[in-house]
Amino acid sequence: MHVVQTIFCFIWVESIARDYLCKMERSFTDQLNRNITINFPPKRIISLVPSQTELLFDLGLDLEVVGLTKFCIHPVAKFASRNKVGGTKKLNLNVIRSLQPDLIIGNKEENEQMQIEELMSEFPVWMSDIYTLEDAKATIGQIGALVDRKPEADYLNHLINAGFNDLQTLALQRGIKKTAAYLIWRQPYMLAGRNTFINDIMTLNGLSNVIRQERYPEIDLEKLAALKPDLILLSSEPYPFKEKHLEEISTRIPTAKVMLVDGEMFSWYGSRLVKAVEYLFHLQKELI
């Protein structure tokens, strides 16, 4: 009888300990230098950015991710089975409220400020702010700590760091030193300028951006031609450039080599960077 009582007592104490741990609060600082306090580890997460959503799943989370945007398409099976909370710029706040998240993860550039501020008044919201590969690696590490997946995040960063170090070395060895323009939109044409994540990825692969302005300036093809880029890269997103656009621009700017490129490999700053290493390795070979 005493043995049975001892066992039940142990189970009761263990249950209390689990409940305590589940309700443990922990504070974190996001990349806007805001402090948030969450129940740690979080159990009901909404991700508002495709690349960060993919990261959460690649860190080993599953049912913890209760909501994502309609653009969070990777991995496909997870996308299909999760609640959609609108688009990155047009969130459905009522759906988000109905999901009662204990953590929302967003990004300064990709999400709309007024909506994010409204969510901040109701829920813990952690925001990233990314312009370079170093920023991206810092984000992976910080999100890993935020969701109790630090070893997994450290391993991803190890792979990314090694891969991009190799890419930089190869770009130098291959003598890749070309001027380039990276188009993200049509009608009007818009480009990735300085102080963007895309610009940093270009630089790491031996490409010098012909655009001097910051962020995403508009341009017409006559002005672009006058900049005399060696390369014009047409992204698959957010505007889905196709072969017909390549032919059109090649005709208008015959002095440049025009290429279609996978926008995810240049602009997604989560775990997709691991896949980007192989993609950029092959892209470099095309540029030799």
104 and 171 in a single domain? The answer is: no
CA dihedral over 128, 129, 134, 136, signed as positive or negative: positive
43 and 107 in a single domain? The answer is: yes
* Mean pLDDT of the 208-229 span: 96
> Is there a domain that residue 12 lies in?
no
Rounded-to-integer distance, Cα 149 and Cα 152, Å: 6
User: Are 234 and 245 within 8 A, CB to CB?
Assistant: yes
98 and 162 in a single domain? The answer is: no
Q: In the chain, count H helices and then E strands.
A: 12, 13
Instruction: Give SS3 for 285.
Output: helix
* Residue 8 pLDDT: 41
Instruction: Give SS3 for 38.
Output: strand
Token pair for 43: 């159990």
Burial status of residue 248 (CB atoms within 10 A of its CB: 0-12, 13-18, 19 or more): middle
The total domain count for the chain is: 2
282 and 166 in a single domain? The answer is: yes
DSSP E strand stretches across the chain: 25-29, 35-39, 45-47, 65-68, 83-84, 103-107, 125-128, 178-185, 189-191, 207-209, 218-219, 231-235, 257-261
Mean pLDDT of the chain: 93
104 and 176 in a single domain? The answer is: no
Which residues span the domain enclosing 177? Answer: 156-287
114 and 183 in a single domain? The answer is: no
∠ CA 257-262-272, rounded to 5° = 140
160 and 280 in a single domain? The answer is: yes
Scan for tokens 């066992």, then name that residue.
7
Rounded-to-integer distance, Cα 223 and Cα 101, Å: 47
Question: Tell me: the pLDDT tens digits for 98-138?
Answer: 999 999 999 999 999 999 999 999 999 999 999 999 999 99
Q: Output the domain CATH number for residue 232.
A: 3.40.50.1980
User: Looking at the predicted structure, is the pLDDT value of residue 22 above 90?
Assistant: no
Q: Cα–Cα distances in Å, from 81 out to 63, 72, 271?
A: 10, 12, 20
> Is there a domain that residue 135 lies in?
no
Q: Tell which residue, 70, 53, 71, has the closest CA to residue 62.
A: 53
User: Looking at the predicted structure, is the pLDDT value of residue 13 above 90?
Assistant: no
238 and 196 in a single domain? The answer is: yes
> Is there a domain that residue 51 lies in?
yes
242 and 179 in a single domain? The answer is: yes
Longest pairwise C-alpha distance within the chain: 90
- 123 backbone dihedrals φ, ψ, rounded to 5°: -140, 160
Token pair for 162: 């090694």
66 and 189 in a single domain? The answer is: no
* Mean pLDDT of the 142-165 span: 98
> Is there a domain that residue 9 lies in?
no
Q: Band the pLDDT of 288: cuts 50, 70, 90.
A: confident
User: Looking at the predicted structure, is the pLDDT value of residue 221 above 50?
Assistant: yes
> Is there a domain that residue 204 lies in?
yes
Question: Tell me: the pLDDT tens digits for 270-281?
Answer: 999 999 999 999
Omega cis (within 30) before 238: yes
Q: Band the pLDDT of 23: cuts 50, 70, 90.
A: low
User: Looking at the predicted structure, is the pLDDT value of residue 60 above 70?
Assistant: yes
* Mean pLDDT of the 34-42 span: 96
